[in-house]
Amino acid sequence: MKNISEILENVKTVGIGGHIRPDGDCIGSCMALYLYIRKYFPDIEADVYLEDRKPVFDYIDRMDEVKAEAEEDKVYDLFITCDVSALDRLAVARKYFDAAKKTACIDHHVSNNGFADVNHVRGEISSASEVLYGLLDSDKIDRSIAVPIYTGMAHDTGVFQYSSTTPETMRIAGELMKTGFDFSRIIDESFYQKTYLQNQVMGRVLAESILLQGGKCVVGYLKKREMDFYSVEGKDLEGIVSQLRLTAGVEVAIFIYEMQTQLFKVSLRSNGKVDVSKIAVFFGGGGHVRAAGCDMQGSMYDVINNLTAEIEKQLAEE
């Protein structure tokens, strides 16, 4: 694709969906596309599906129209996924994707092998939101559409500090800022701000983290009983792995938490020497060179040992 209009021709109904446990980039790209279609293709009936909508993103226009469940049977002319690296990562609306007359995927994960009829995957670009920006008419991006795109770019670049941030990323961010939204508030409230409880949990994880492989790997963890004690869910744990990555001397940070007995959600972050996307893919997940994740089964110690064994292989090659 060179422009989103290419796949919208002769389309009457469109569904848009993101991945499980949607982050800022997933929400930003899905909502920006939804708002763009609603404004510039008014004859198209559009729906957007996101699970577990977070109130912190309610500053984005029309968030109240997001559908969190696939209630009715429906066959869309076109179903578009945003920031979804693999089909089994599509949340809520999988049945609509399977039933759609045509499907499209807009993404930036290097592990994405292309699961839709039309795949626009740019693994070298910072975020799905930035990929989407390249498919829209820039002169039609008003404040309402700019806000979710900027949100997605800011979140997936760690507020423009990760290596995926390019001069083009910054140029686009600057163009978006010209529409006049309060960018500092977006960053503070949707990226940095934590609740008191989130700070408590992060403090515990950091205090009990362990250094492995001569200080090149740091591991933080939460067991199911600790999750229950604090009454927290996965959505309350964002930012922990990024903080672990900032430990001096560390090449790879691992954060795992137990979703069910002996079923762990794994988040991986690298400072450059280790390609964590390869490790995540090896264990059935995906992601980027410096940020990836997967789900793993077994005891906590088995999970950690299996992950660090793969990290050690890459460090040895390095």
pTM of the predicted model, to two decimals? 0.85
Q: Which domains does the chain have, with CATH numbers?
A: 5-192 (3.90.1640.10), 196-317 (3.10.310.30)
Token pair, residue 1, equals 């694709």
Distance, CA of 271 to CA of 152 (rounded, Å):
21
Token pair, residue 171, equals 């140029």
* Per-residue pLDDT at 287: 83
* Per-residue pLDDT at 226: 95
* Per-residue pLDDT at 165: 94
Amino acid at site 231:
S
Distance, CA of 48 to CA of 63 (rounded, Å):
9
Distance, CA of 276 to CA of 292 (rounded, Å):
6
Token pair, residue 193, equals 């701000």
* Per-residue pLDDT at 174: 98
Residues 6+ apart with CB under 8 A from 43: 12
| 295-301: long-range contacts, CB 8 A cutoff, minimum separation 24 | 295/259, 295/263, 295/264, 295/265, 295/266, 296/256, 296/263, 296/264, 296/266, 297/262, 297/263, 297/264, 298/262, 298/264, 299/262, 300/221, 300/223, 300/256, 300/258, 300/264
249: alpha, beta or left? (left if phi > 0; alpha if psi -120 to 50): left
**Which H or E element spans position 282?**
helix 276-282
Number of Cβ within a 10 Å radius of residue 247 = 16
Give the residue from 293, 308, 252, 302 showing the smallest Cα distance to 20.
Answer: 293
Residue by residue, pLDDT tens for the chain (318 residues) are 899 999 999 999 999 999 998 999 999 999 999 999 999 999 999 999 999 778 899 999 999 999 999 988 999 999 999 999 999 999 999 999 999 999 999 999 988 999 999 999 999 999 999 999 999 999 999 999 999 999 999 999 999 988 889 999 999 999 999 999 999 999 999 999 999 999 999 999 999 999 999 999 999 999 999 999 999 998 899 899 999 999 999 999 999 999 999 999 999 999 999 999 999 999 999 888 889 999 999 999 999 999 999 999 999 987
* Per-residue pLDDT at 67: 96
